[in-house]
Amino acid sequence: KASDIDSTLAYMKQHQVTPNVQYTGVAKGKNVFIIHLESFQQFLIDFKWQGEEVTPNLNKLYHASDTLSFDNFFNQVGQGKTADAEMMLENSLFGLPEGSAMVSDGTANTFQAAPAILDQQGYTTASFHGDVPSFWNRDNTYKSWGYDYFFSKAYFQSGKDYDIGYGLKDKIFLKDSAQYIEQLPQPFYAKLITVTNHYPYTLDKKNQSIAKTDTGDSTVDGYVQTARYLDQSIGEFMAWLKKSGLDKKSMVVFYGDHYGISGNHKKAIAQLLGKDKFDDFDNAQFQRVPFMIHMNGLKGGINHTYGGEIDVLPTLMNLLGISNKGYVQFGSDLTSKQHSQVVAFRNGDFVTPQYTKVGSDYYDTTTGKRIKKLTAAQKTVIDAATNQVTTELSLSDRVMNGDLLRFYTPKGFAKVTKRNYNYTLKKA
Ligand code: GP9
Ligand code: MN
Nearest atom in ligand 1 to the alpha carbon of residue 81 is 10
The reported pLDDT for the residue numbered 425 is: 87
What kind and span of H or E run contains 301? strand 301-308
Distance in angstroms (rounded) separating the CA atoms of residues 24 and 389? 27
Our answer on whether the CB atom of 82 is closer than 6 Å to any ligand 1 atom is yes
CB 324 within 8 A of CB 20: no
Atom 5, ligand 1: residue with shortest CA distance:
82
Q: Please tell me which residue in 67, 82, 194, 335 is annotated as part of the active site.
A: 82
Phi and psi torsions of 164, nearest 5°: -150, 140
What burial class does residue 380 get, using C-beta atoms within 10 Å of its C-beta: 0-12 exposed, 13-18 middle, 19+ buried? exposed
Cα 399 to Cα 4, 192, 347: the distances in Å are 8, 27, 18
Our answer on whether the CB atom of 196 is closer than 6 Å to any ligand 1 atom is no
Cα 244 to Cα 118, 237, 248, 360: the distances in Å are 23, 10, 10, 53
Strand pairing category for 291-295 and 67-74: antiparallel
Ligand 1 mutation target, pool 136, 173, 194, most atoms within 8 A of CB:
136
Using the mean position of ligand 2's atoms as its centre, give its distance from the Cα of residue 405 in Å. 26
Our answer on whether the CB atom of 131 is closer than 6 Å to any ligand 1 atom is yes
As a whole number of Å, the CA-based R_g of the chain is 21
Atom 4, ligand 1: residue with shortest CA distance:
135
Our answer on whether the CB atom of 74 is closer than 6 Å to any ligand 1 atom is no
CB 70 within 8 A of CB 288: no
Residue 18 falls in the annotated catalytic set: no
Distance in angstroms (rounded) separating the CA atoms of residues 241 and 232? 14
Interface ipTM above 0.90 = yes
Phi and psi torsions of 389, nearest 5°: -65, -50
CB 219 within 8 A of CB 39: no
Q: Is 198 annotated as a binding residue?
A: yes
Our answer on whether the CB atom of 259 is closer than 6 Å to any ligand 1 atom is no
Using the mean position of ligand 2's atoms as its centre, give its distance from the Cα of residue 25 in Å. 30
CB 331 within 8 A of CB 90: no
Using the mean position of ligand 1's atoms as its centre, give its distance from the Cα of residue 263 in Å. 19
CB 69 within 8 A of CB 291: yes
What kind and span of H or E run contains 63? helix 56-63
Give, for all 428 residues of the chain, the pLDDT tens digit.
999 999 999 999 999 999 999 999 999 999 999 999 999 999 999 999 999 999 999 999 999 999 999 999 999 999 999 999 999 999 999 999 999 999 999 999 999 999 999 999 999 999 999 999 999 999 999 999 999 999 999 999 999 999 999 999 999 999 999 999 999 999 999 999 999 999 999 999 999 999 999 999 999 999 999 999 999 999 999 999 999 999 999 999 999 999 999 999 999 999 999 999 999 999 999 999 999 999 999 999 999 999 999 999 999 999 999 999 999 999 999 999 999 999 999 999 999 999 999 999 999 999 999 999 999 999 999 999 999 999 999 999 999 999 999 999 999 999 999 999 999 987 65
Q: Is 257 annotated as a binding residue?
A: yes
**Centroid of chain to Cα 19:** 20
Our answer on whether the CB atom of 357 is closer than 6 Å to any ligand 1 atom is no
Neighbours of ion ligand 2 (CB under 5 A): 81-82, 257
